[in-house]
Amino acid sequence: MKKKQLKVLIAPNSMKGSLNAFDFADEVEKAFMKISSGFLVRKIPVADGGDFTGEVLCNALGAKVVEVEVKDPLGRPVRAKYARAGKKAVIEMADASGIKLLRPNEMNPLETSSFGTGQLINEAINAGCTEILLGVGGSATVDGGLGMVEALGFQLFDKKGKKLGGKGKNLERVEKIEKPAFPANLSVKVICDVDNPLLGENGAAKVFGPQKGATSPMVERLEKGLSHWSEILHRETGIDFSKQNGAGAAGGIALPLLAFFHAEIVPGAAFVLQELNFDEAVQWADFVITGEGKIDHQTLYDKAPKAVADVARRYRKPVFAIGGTVTRDASAAFDGIFSLVSGPVSLEKAMNNAAELLFDFSFELAKLIHAVSNK
């Protein structure tokens, strides 16, 4: 009797600092195929608004990459890109305004700006795009989107009528806004992997400021500035956006998008899976493999592996998660969680050898599944 071919859906998130989601999926596939050509493999790299969200969406949409010169977080010229599929544009904030563009001694959210992200949005609009998908993971800024709107043609003034640049240090000084005209049919979706509010202990300044180089006095100044900026936007629109879930993501960049572009903040993982037509792939599969760098309690808060597991559970398909660091408090979401590290090893060595470690673990997992399925 001919044995049934097992259908394997490989749907990992990126492993920050080591393997992107595409390479992760490739390594798992290679291991499974080395064990048996009887495995049928489908690879769907996923994301949740963090690293590589833009690449994942571009791949799913078949978007064409457009490269342009913009300003980095400190105003220096840098080559960045966005992608276009029809009238839809995919923009990754980190490409123009990301922390990856700065050296450690350059990180200062009072001085950094989201101007380059605004330039990318402007390029997409000028190319005829009417739907902007903006992934905001990996930013270097806590400027409330001041730099972005400056690049989009907004003019910002202090109480004496002096024009202000779009930097974090100017949040507390803005008193007047002059707005340009934009297409009425423009749609903006802000894709993020956190639901932090703008202000307070869980807000943009206090949670993310130190990660971007803010000292304690800087954090207090940024908190004050974001509060003032949100009050200005409240005055302009009659709506208080500061308490909206996700408004604190990427240093509050969504705030002026909500105020002036009727933008929508969308939970990254669910949005990306919908764009990937992920339900159909899960229905095809016999089991699902996902993963990311760290699988712990934070994974349960709308991160990509948890979203993958939720879909798999809905269709009663086994789902296994592979990570570099794994803790038991994430176990309930999956049918098994596994670390690709089998023994004592430094974090640096594990990250540098992630591809080899992932292949070795996946080889053993494939061998086990093959043996059990052929009993």
Residue bearing the bigger pLDDT, 1 or 133:
133
Residue 291 lies in a domain: yes
Q: What is the pLDDT of residues 107-119, one digit of tens each?
A: 999 999 999 999 9
Boundaries of domain holding 121: 53-269
Residue 47 lies in a domain: no
Among 107, 97, 180, residue whose Cα is nearest residue 134: 97
Last-in-domain residue among 204, 234, 269: 269
Q: Are residues 208 and 308 in the same domain?
A: no
Residue 355 lies in a domain: yes
Average confidence (pLDDT) over 3-18: 88
Residue 198 lies in a domain: yes
Q: What is the pLDDT of residues 262-275, one digit of tens each?
A: 899 998 899 999 99
Residue 46 lies in a domain: no
Half-sphere exposure of 52 (CA within 13 A, CB side): 21
Residue 181 lies in a domain: yes
Residue 293 has pLDDT above 80, yes or no: yes
Q: What is the pLDDT of residues 126-171, one digit of tens each?
A: 999 999 999 998 999 999 999 999 999 999 999 999 999 999 999 9
* Mean of per-residue pLDDT scores for the chain: 93
Residue 199 lies in a domain: yes
State residue 1's pLDDT score. 42
Residue 29 lies in a domain: yes
Cβ atoms of residues 41 and 8 within 8 Å: yes
User: CATH code at 350?
Assistant: 3.40.50.10350
Q: Are residues 345 and 252 in the same domain?
A: no
Residue 353 has pLDDT above 60, yes or no: yes
Q: What is the pLDDT of residues 181-204, one digit of tens each?
A: 888 899 999 999 888 999 999 999
Sheet strand arrangement including 88-92: 64-71, 77-85, 88-92, 131-135, 187-192, 264-267
State residue 3's pLDDT score. 61
Using alpha carbons, list the distances in angstroms from residue 111 to 114, 136, 265, 358. 10, 19, 26, 40
Q: Are residues 124 and 164 in the same domain?
A: yes
User: CATH code at 102?
Assistant: 3.90.1510.10
Q: What is the pLDDT of residues 38-59, one digit of tens each?
A: 899 999 999 998 878 989 999 9
Last-in-domain residue among 248, 269, 290: 269
Average confidence (pLDDT) over 78-105: 96
Q: Is the pTM of this model over 0.85?
A: yes
Q: Are residues 248 and 302 in the same domain?
A: no
State residue 194's pLDDT score. 85
Q: Are residues 282 and 246 in the same domain?
A: no
Q: What is the pLDDT of residues 222-273, one digit of tens each?
A: 999 999 999 999 999 999 998 899 999 999 999 999 999 989 999 889 999 9
Q: Are residues 155 and 283 in the same domain?
A: no
Residue 345 has pLDDT above 80, yes or no: no
Last-in-domain residue among 228, 247, 269: 269
State residue 343's pLDDT score. 66
Q: Are residues 237 and 335 in the same domain?
A: no
How many structural domains are present in the chain?
A: 2
